[in-house]
């Protein structure tokens, strides 16, 4: 564990150029530099602006429905054994996931910047839905890029986006998943940079995105911290969150960085198992490189080509990760582990049956690891698990694995 001074320094990141240690930065082609500088200066002034913050807080309260509950899963904890499990119920947010915290914030920035059009990339479709939702509310044009493989896996969310008035563009290039959707969104942005605001859905990409997405998602950790104090009388022993790009995890972790006794576990998608090579776990099995505007851990081959990933959950099916997680890993402040497809599916079923809460397959990875971790801990300890999204969107996937056509 880093020293107190080192933890305090971690809280101050990124630096002025968007670096978290050696990670982060702004690795984009020249055409986008001006737009990123404009976004950075707009955001830096808005984050000091009480009026903007008040508007954001008001939307979180009355449109998203915050604060989200911190729920003690007593029956699950009892049946599982070991530490008490508390669920941070981001699945109860409007649109069904944590993603909306960020899209509300970024759409407010887009409005301040006078951009009439927003674009977004999406994997599971939750960020696409959250973007389409805020676009509908603010009367902005919305185009969502989605890998054609994910369009197939997440048909329900595709239709939701269309109902909300968004145009969904299926992306057929590359591996046809989230990374390719992000490439395509960048291409759109570079072409339409004057009129368009790009709402990146995770705490990754070129500076200032990792910072501003984290800031908007930190509401999760701030609430969870206060709720822990109110309900249990102390801070949790451990935090657990799934990590694809890592926005729900950084939102939960960041407000606890200086609480050195609170252990943090980011759970990557282990797919068919790390040893199989068929997974989406760059922090567990990748190495540093540069993709999508930032330096971070990547899944790549020996020649620096980005590898295709596999996960049962579309939202974790991404070969990179937010740069702050890369640095939290290297500094030892957070630990990164994985849960396989099978473990996540088992956790999906367990939580559904034991608590009547159906988690997203992404969040099921966090639940799976938390169940294992809890069994190594005492009954008087407690874990906060970020239940980042609800599982309705995944019913088709789970049913088809059961051989059932719904």
Contacting positions for another protein (CB under 8 A): 17, 25-35, 173-174, 179-180, 183, 186-187, 190-194, 289-293, 298, 300, 302-306
**Residue position matching structure tokens 């990339």:** 121
* CB nearer another protein, residue 28 or residue 368: 28
Between CA 7 and CA 135 the distance in angstroms is 38
Report the run of H or E that residue 126 belongs to, with start and end: helix 126-138
99 has catalytic annotation: yes
In angstroms, give the least distance from the CB of 284 to another protein: 19
In angstroms, give the least distance from the CB of 242 to another protein: 23
**Residue position matching structure tokens 């939307």:** 59
Catalytically annotated residue among 40, 90, 121, 355? 121
Among residues 311, 315, 325, the alpha carbon closest in space to that of 277 is found at 311
179 has catalytic annotation: no
* CB nearer another protein, residue 27 or residue 52: 27
In angstroms, give the least distance from the CB of 294 to another protein: 10
* CB nearer another protein, residue 194 or residue 380: 194
In angstroms, give the least distance from the CB of 303 to another protein: 4
**HSE of 203, CA atoms in CB hemisphere, 13 A:** 30
Among residues 195, 193, 197, 174, the alpha carbon closest in space to that of 184 is found at 174
Between 4-11 and 323-331, two packed helices, what is the crossing angle to 10 degrees? 180
Catalytically annotated residue among 99, 179, 329, 393? 99
90 has catalytic annotation: no
Burial degree of 319 (CB within 10 A; 0-12, 13-18, 19+): buried
In angstroms, give the least distance from the CB of 275 to another protein: 23
* CB nearer another protein, residue 81 or residue 304: 304
* CB nearer another protein, residue 53 or residue 173: 173
Between CA 51 and CA 250 the distance in angstroms is 25
Catalytically annotated residue among 68, 247, 363, 388? 388
Catalytic residues: 99, 121, 388
């Amino acid at each position: 564990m880093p020293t107190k001074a080192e933890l305090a320094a971690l809280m101050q990141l990124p630096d002025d150029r968007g670096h978290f240690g050696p990670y982060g930065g702004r690795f984009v082609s020249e055409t986008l530099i001006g737009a990123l500088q404009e976004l950075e200066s707009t955001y830096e002034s808005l984050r000091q602006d009480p009026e903007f913050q008040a508007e954001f807080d008001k939307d979180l309260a009355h449109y998203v429905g915050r604060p989200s509950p911190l729920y003690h899963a007593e029956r699950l904890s009892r049946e599982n054994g070991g530490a008490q499990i508390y669920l941070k119920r981001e699945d109860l947010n409007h649109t069904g996931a944590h993603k909306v915290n960020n899209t509300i914030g970024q759409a407010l920035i887009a409005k301040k910047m006078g951009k009439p059009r927003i674009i977004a990339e999406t994997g599971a479709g939750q960020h696409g839905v959250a973007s389409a939702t805020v676009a509908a509310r603010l009367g902005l044009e919305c185009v969502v890029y989605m890998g054609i493989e994910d369009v197939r896996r997440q048909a329900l969310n595709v239709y939701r986006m269309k109902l909300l008035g968004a145009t969904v563009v299926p992306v057929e290039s590359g591996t046809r998943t989230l990374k390719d959707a992000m490439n395509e969104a960048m291409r759109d942005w570079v072409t339409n940079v004057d009129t368009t605001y790009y709402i990146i859905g995770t705490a990754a990409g070129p500076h200032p995105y990792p910072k501003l997405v984290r800031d908007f998602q930190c509401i999760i950790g701030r609430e969870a911290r206060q709720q822990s104090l109110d309900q249990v009388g102390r801070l949790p022993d451990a935090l657990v969150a799934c990590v694809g790009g890592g926005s729900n995890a950084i939102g939960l972790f960041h407000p606890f960085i200086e609480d050195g006794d609170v252990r943090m576990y980011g759970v990557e998608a282990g797919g068919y198992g790390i040893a199989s090579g068929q997974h989406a776990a760059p922090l567990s099995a990748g190495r540093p490189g540069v993709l999508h505007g930032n330096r971070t851990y990547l899944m790549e081959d020996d020649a620096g080509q980005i590898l295709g990933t596999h996960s049962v959950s579309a939202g974790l099916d991404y070969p990179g990760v937010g740069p702050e997680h890369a640095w939290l890993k290297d500094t030892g402040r957070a630990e990164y582990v994985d849960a396989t497809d099978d473990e996540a599916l088992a956790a999906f079923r367990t939580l559904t049956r034991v608590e009547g809460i159906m988690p997203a397959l992404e969040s099921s990875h966090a639940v799976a690891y938390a169940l294992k971790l809890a069994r190594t801990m005492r009954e008087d300890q407690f874990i906060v698990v970020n239940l980042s999204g609800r599982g309705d969107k995944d019913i088709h996937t789970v049913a088809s694995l059961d051989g059932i056509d719904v």
